[in-house]
Structure 1
């Protein structure tokens, strides 16, 4: 959303002058020649009449000064033309009738779809135009040279989308603006501007002395940021996001006493925060976020400061938050996510009565959470991933609060029941704290809008709280890793018509599954985690067309893994964990879903042939089973994307297939505790391998020399095999102890004490 704070009065002026808000300007009737030109324009351009709200209504029977998007002066000449959002897709060229509207002062073609067409010559004929907006109209290519003839321009907006790029190369930026002395607003976002180093800023400061709003976001500009911009004393808005300045912020920016908005997000800025900028009495918004090496503490803020938006997320800015932040009574948005702040949250924040959005997540804050009872407008509160302690304060009266994330702290005490009285609340995340206690059965619930509730990884006890089943819009429920107990019927969750994710894992619950043809869940279900829930039967998931993640591990499931499970999610299943059950086989025929990323069947009693996984799988765990068979010859050919592969302790026999050399993405390979024979195949192509465990087998032959060249290998266990010969020497092998090689009687050389017989070698 473009910010044009400084131009509000100017915009009102334009609207009054050009769009018929002033009664004097609409007293004249449309001149015939003006109507002819406008009707010709309508016939020239291609537009979607079903989406048009202006052009579609232009016709002979109505005075053209009353047409949508048209403004006339008192003599009947067209002075304003607004064809924005008209679904125009073509037919605009150098012979367009619009270039014959000699009295035109305002022209807006923004938000159309010209499908990569070049801007035509002809704009230079519009010498009276003071407002020109061609933004996001999907034009591409070089800006025509005659734009520089529009000497009365006050506002010029040529911003484009990242996918349709306008170019300023020949003519360049200097040639475009050198004659536009009256320009007060310049918007060229996403334009490819050809310029050398920081010279662009000197061109602007010398050519546009009246400039108030400068927006050059994502223009490919380089630095360093030059102090010449501070010569433009009327500048009130600077938007230069996503350029590569690689410099500090000039201290001279602090002399821009009319500055209201400064946005330099993701500009690779370095150095420290310039304190002087924060003292500018008119400053309302400062956004320096995503400058990952920008450092320094926050300065002290002046009393009754005007700042409304403070955005410094993902920088190195840190230290303690100053108490003087309470001096900013107009603050409505604070984003300090992923910074380096330490110490307590200032108690003065309770005085920020206008705060709407407060994000201090991913810092190192300590102490307790202050009360925000006076912050009646607070809608978003995020203290995720800090070191906060104490109880959760009452949120009574915060009727605008929609989002609350206090997860990953060390908060204790009971669940704050005051949350359930907040009528706007939709998202609550309290996971990974030390909250405890049992929920009352008669809790009043007013938060009927609640969609996401995450209480996982706490110390709650008792049965699943009854208030949960009074939340009709609940979409995500995560209660895992608590001490909830009792029997819960899975059918109870059928009342949630929008249920997207359910996680009840690792409590002391017994989940009861009613065997029937009907599913217990809504058709929206995407994630189901019921690990360690004492389940004896698989829930009916056959018709869950959107389900992508299933974790039913550590239960009491047995028998065949039904083949319908591979069709869940219409073949788009991405994650399946059925480990630590008592499954004995896979029902045939079966076809693994092509997009399956994680398949975990470890610690079952699977027997017989080893299932060949899909090629996309990156985590494959068949360990601790009873296969009693050999690894298929071509098995390695389907592991080209696999990062983790384990079949340890699965009663494997035969050799490790040579195809394992094609598993070049492996980081972990564990085939230990089997009865594998033959040599270790060459796996030198697995350059990312970090852990290799082939221990307790019957492998023979020498250790492949290329293993010693795996630079990332940090864990190696080849112990208790029948390997022989000299242990290869390499930078990584020198870090391994004899524990990696012991139990191989014919191995010799360091780190083993047994030296190698030269005759043998």
Structure 2
């Protein structure tokens, strides 16, 4: 997939430079009796050669583009005619050096302004591409080549600002390539680019890939020469609106603007035709619908619009592009069906429509795309069965259909050309086809997350000696492995067999010495982790997932390159193992480990995720654990037996986003140094013995979304905000079961902006999580009280909003600001000393699901506005001093006596006490369901016993799999 776009663009560049090559080989060819070059120019060339050493570090770039690399200057010898040296061309009449091609010549060193190169004033063509000039600036002396027509300094390590006088004055230039490998090494200011555009009236090829022109208005390009054939500005930092008139340049054959994420624009809707051969707008912000006029580009062979913001349907006019070889529309917003007109693209080799919103079937035509070798329709909403032509297409090599809604069985393959098969995350059923084992060229097979069934013998893959990736995870397959194995898969480096009903470690794995990734999670593997597994990929294994099995013991972690290691939810006992220094993710939660945390773990300097929760670990938390690495973003030690104080030495550049110490025996004060964790999103210190006043410095954490300090020994007043944006992103606040006094923290409540914004449940829930740079995500979890029961949210939805201030000593009235928290789902102010009336504004909380104001000193009537709380499924107003009739209608018709008991002067349903005549109240008639309501149901789960409350956005789980703990797990 990666080489084809490069090849197409390379072919186009070669096409555009045909005149250069032809002239270079004919008009510059030496005559039968050429004059020798002058001693002056020969000496200048030898002096130029002497400023460099020979180093082939850049040779790989030449190999990548298919160009031979060797040190051409080795042929430059004093006393010989320089016109016969490699890479040197002389004028046939005068003998002057007019061409130098030292591309891919292994040159290593700097080019300064006093370089003898600039003495060669007759140069017409200069190619220094693919060398290493060690960050040299482009000297203004380049502007002295008055006759220069072709200049190529591509990928040669130049840096700095391109001076106006160096390039913009070369009015005879026809072709210029200043490509840099790393964005920003070269910079062009606007006046320089304007000069280049205005003065280079003859330029036909302009390539500035990777050059920083972010300070340039794209409008500066409007006056480019009408003779322009090729314009390539990939990864230049361009921003703003791209001038549409450039699409209309009469001779333009190649236009590439890829990698400019902030560059916007539209394709011409009318009068768009011309000789365009290649158009690449990959990873830009071009938008709008693809115009029908694109079908007028009859010479187009390469079209890449991937990762942009186009929308609408794929136009039928694309079928007019009879020369098209490469088409990539991935990662846009295209909708509708796959157009049958694409079947007319008889030359098409590469078709990518992935990551859009396409629906319907893949056209089932035998003649469709008869030359296609690469088909990517992944991550759409396509359905139906797989078309029959996919199984017999003799040219098809790469097939990506994962992430759709395909159904039916996978039929037998009738051809052997397939190299990649990706069919995961669909709804395919039935057995795996036997013909897979005949696909001798197959290197990657991914069938995960379907409904495939039956028995799969791993021995069946023994014929696939080229196999590199095998993924059968998350089906209904029973995968079997023979005890006696007499075969190897020497190229296999990724093996994923999660949820495959394995009972033992597959024995064929023992021979996979180069394995890089192994996932055997969610199986029934029992017993110790065998010692032989330590030799599997000992120097190559970087990802290992053995979670959710019944493993009992791990002696050590022997893999030298391990990065991601997941052992959670097993029966592992013993001490915490030492980690390899390369580890970035380590989870061994929900096991039976004992002992303490050694300070050795602080030597793992790239560790990003550390989850040791739900074990029997104890002792104090090492001081170094909170400051040893700026990479550490997740630290989860909940439900262990740690004691002592929380380390006081959090680093100033602390990178922690998630800290969970819930359910330990920690005491003392909260460390103020934690304020250095500016990226903190979740802080859960509940169920400890922390003795402190409210840590007001917490309000300075700008990203804090979840704060749980419940069940500690916190005390005193909670004062008002001292920072401008205190707790503005908070969505879960739990200070329950402490000894806070004084009024409710009304200033904080008034500043909870995240709770005041309307949040719609559009069906695409987002969760609070850490997205690592090594290919994993870590879902944050937290313990909260929901409707009177403690739950653990194993996933925290962005629409879960709650406040729990119960079981404290707060007093005074309930602020009307609570009624402005229109996104809140749960509010618990019970067991305090609150007085006054229930604010009528509570009726504004239309998505509120549970409300507990019990055991306070509230007076007055229950506001009639509370009948509008149509999502409310739990209400507790008991043991207050409320009076008058209980409102009727909607959810109030479902509440029982317990919601209102202990209020002696309340009357009406559901209480037995009837209201007097003047207290009777009319019941509202509407009984609607909120679009934000969560339904609740009970589901049996698991190993041992338990129950699950399913909710629209997740699930509740009480697990009793292990006798050492009882947890309530909630995915919300």
What TM-score, normalized by structure 1, do the two folds share? 0.81
Question: Where do residues 640-719 of structure 1 align in structure 2 (5 Å cutoff)?
Answer: 640-664=605-629, 665-682=631-648, 684-685=650-651, 687-719=654-686
Question: Quick one: distance in 2 between partners of 1:711 and 1:6?
Answer: 52
Alpha-carbon offset, residue 329 of structure 1: 0.8
2:437 aligns to what?
A: 469
Question: Quick one: distance in 2 between partners of 1:654 and 1:303?
Answer: 73
Question: Quick one: distance in 1 between partners of 2:161 and 2:688?
Answer: 66
Per mean C-alpha deviation after superposition, the further-off stretch among 286-295 and 387-396 is 387-396
Report the secondary structure of 1:229's partner residue: helix
Alpha-carbon offset, residue 267 of structure 1: 2.1
Question: Where do residues 554-633 of structure 1 align in structure 2 (5 Å cutoff)?
Answer: 554-586=522-554, 588=555, 590-627=556-593, 629-633=594-598
Aligned mate of 1:92, from 76, 82, 85: 76
2:697 aligns to what?
A: 730
Distance 1:478 1:740, change over 3 A: same
1:494 aligns to what?
A: 462
Distance 1:598 1:285, change over 3 A: same
2:349 aligns to what?
A: 379
RMSD: 3.5
- Given that 1:160 and 1:166 are in contact with CA atoms closer than 8 Å, whether structure 2 keeps it comes out as no
- Determine whether 1:258 maps to 2:268: no
- Given that 2:305 and 2:328 are in contact with CA atoms closer than 8 Å, whether structure 1 keeps it comes out as yes
Distance 1:495 1:269, change over 3 A: same
Question: Quick one: distance in 1 between partners of 2:70 and 2:623?
Answer: 63
Deviations 1:687-720 (CA, angstroms, capped at 9, x unpaired): 1111111112222222223234422222122222
Alpha-carbon offset, residue 531 of structure 1: 0.5
Aligned mate of 2:359, from 374, 380, 389: 389
- Determine whether 1:423 maps to 2:394: yes
- Given that 1:301 and 1:325 are in contact with CA atoms closer than 8 Å, whether structure 2 keeps it comes out as no
Question: Quick one: distance in 1 between partners of 2:679 and 2:24?
Answer: 65
Alpha-carbon offset, residue 17 of structure 1: 5.5
Alpha-carbon offset, residue 307 of structure 1: 0.7
- Determine whether 1:333 maps to 2:302: yes
- Given that 2:153 and 2:178 are in contact with CA atoms closer than 8 Å, whether structure 1 keeps it comes out as yes
Deviations 1:234-256 (CA, angstroms, capped at 9, x unpaired): 32222222222221334664562
Question: Quick one: distance in 2 between partners of 1:555 and 1:84?
Answer: 52
- Determine whether 1:302 maps to 2:271: yes
Question: Where do residues 309-388 of structure 1 align in structure 2 (5 Å cutoff)?
Answer: 309-371=278-340, 372-388=342-358
Question: Quick one: distance in 1 between partners of 2:386 and 2:311?
Answer: 26
Alpha-carbon offset, residue 646 of structure 1: 1.4
- Given that 2:330 and 2:354 are in contact with CA atoms closer than 8 Å, whether structure 1 keeps it comes out as yes
- Determine whether 1:283 maps to 2:230: no
2:405 aligns to what?
A: 434
1:213 aligns to what?
A: 175
Unmatched 5+ stretches in structure 1: 32-36, 49-82, 111-121
Report the secondary structure of 2:294's partner residue: helix
Deviations 1:473-522 (CA, angstroms, capped at 9, x unpaired): 11111111100011111111111111101111110011011112435x41
- Given that 2:205 and 2:231 are in contact with CA atoms closer than 8 Å, whether structure 1 keeps it comes out as yes
Question: Quick one: distance in 2 between partners of 1:739 and 1:47?
Answer: 61
Alpha-carbon offset, residue 88 of structure 1: 4.5
Question: Quick one: distance in 1 between partners of 2:563 and 2:570?
Answer: 20
Question: Quick one: distance in 1 between partners of 2:624 and 2:333?
Answer: 48
Question: Quick one: distance in 2 between partners of 1:517 and 1:656?
Answer: 46
Question: Quick one: distance in 2 between partners of 1:569 and 1:654?
Answer: 34
Alpha-carbon offset, residue 315 of structure 1: 1.4
Question: Quick one: distance in 1 between partners of 2:496 and 2:159?
Answer: 51
1:113 aligns to what?
A: none
Alpha-carbon offset, residue 659 of structure 1: 4.0
- Determine whether 1:3 maps to 2:18: no
Question: Quick one: distance in 1 between partners of 2:204 and 2:480?
Answer: 64
- Given that 2:282 and 2:307 are in contact with CA atoms closer than 8 Å, whether structure 1 keeps it comes out as yes
Alpha-carbon offset, residue 364 of structure 1: 1.4
Aligned mate of 2:242, from 255, 273, 276: 273
Report the secondary structure of 2:345's partner residue: coil
- Given that 1:126 and 1:150 are in contact with CA atoms closer than 8 Å, whether structure 2 keeps it comes out as no
- Determine whether 1:229 maps to 2:194: no
Question: Quick one: distance in 2 between partners of 1:30 and 1:710?
Answer: 74
Question: Quick one: distance in 2 between partners of 1:296 and 1:514?
Answer: 59
1:55 aligns to what?
A: none
Question: Quick one: distance in 1 between partners of 2:648 and 2:683?
Answer: 15
- The number of residue pairs the alignment matches comes to 677
Question: Quick one: distance in 2 between partners of 1:667 and 1:524?
Answer: 35
